[in-house]
Chain A
Amino acid sequence: MQQTLTVPKINFTEVFSTKNGAIYQSDSEGCWYIDFAGKLARFDYRNLLKLKKAVYQIDIEDRLLNSTKSADLEIIFICACDHCYVLSLLQIIKMKELLQGTFTMLELNHIIFDRLHRITA
Chain B
Amino acid sequence: MKDIIRVKCLLSSDVETLLNQQIKKEAHSSAIYLSMASWCNRNGYDFSADYFFKQAEEEREHQLKIYKYVLDMGGTSISPDITNIKLEYNSFREVFEDALDQEISVTQSLKNIAARCQKEQDFVTLEFLNWFFREQREEEYKARRALELFEVIGEEGTGRWQIDKHVGQIAYNSEA
0/1 string, B3-42, CB within 8 A of A gives 1: 1111111000000000000000000000000000000000
Could you say which residues of chain A place their CB within 8 Å of the CB of B6?
A: 110, 113-114
B134 interfacial by beta-carbon distance below 8 Å? no
A32 vs chain B, min Cβ distance (A): 8
> Chain B: which residue is nearest A113 at the CB level?
B3
Q: List 9 A-B contacts (CB under 8 A).
A: A15-B1, A25-B2, A25-B4, A30-B2, A30-B4, A30-B7, A49-B76, A109-B3, A110-B5
Docked Cα-Cα span, A49 to B7, in Å, equals 14
0/1 string, A1-39, CB within 8 A of B gives 1: 000000000000101000000000101001100000000
A81 interfacial by beta-carbon distance below 8 Å? no
The answer to whether B7 and A109 touch across the interface, beta carbons within 8 angstroms, is: no
Docked Cα-Cα span, A25 to B3, in Å, equals 10
B117 vs chain A, min Cβ distance (A): 14
Q: How large is the interface on A (under 10, 10 to 19, 20 to 34, 35 or more residues)?
A: 10 to 19
Docked Cα-Cα span, A114 to B7, in Å, equals 12
Best-surrounded residue of B4, B6, B9, B76 (most CB of chain A within 10 A): B4
Could you say which residues of chain A place their CB within 8 Å of the CB of B7?
A: 30
The answer to whether B5 and A27 touch across the interface, beta carbons within 8 angstroms, is: no
> Chain B: which residue is nearest A50 at the CB level?
B76
The answer to whether B3 and A110 touch across the interface, beta carbons within 8 angstroms, is: yes
The answer to whether A45 and B1 touch across the interface, beta carbons within 8 angstroms, is: no
Q: Kindly list the 10 A-B residue pairs having the minimum CB-CB distance in the complex, ordered from nearest.
A: A113-B3, A27-B2, A45-B8, A13-B1, A110-B3, A30-B4, A110-B6, A109-B1, A109-B3, A25-B1
The answer to whether A27 and B1 touch across the interface, beta carbons within 8 angstroms, is: yes
> Chain A: which residue is nearest B1 at the CB level?
A13
A106 interfacial by beta-carbon distance below 8 Å? yes
Docked Cα-Cα span, A101 to B4, in Å, equals 16
B75 vs chain A, min Cβ distance (A): 10
Docked Cα-Cα span, A106 to B7, in Å, equals 12
The answer to whether A45 and B3 touch across the interface, beta carbons within 8 angstroms, is: no
Docked Cα-Cα span, A113 to B9, in Å, equals 14
Docked Cα-Cα span, A81 to B79, in Å, equals 22
Docked Cα-Cα span, A3 to B158, in Å, equals 96
Docked Cα-Cα span, A15 to B2, in Å, equals 11
Could you say which residues of chain B place their CB within 8 Å of the CB of A113?
A: 3, 6
B39 vs chain A, min Cβ distance (A): 38
0/1 string, A95-119, CB within 8 A of B gives 1: 0000000000010011001100000
Could you say which residues of chain B place their CB within 8 Å of the CB of A106?
A: 3, 5
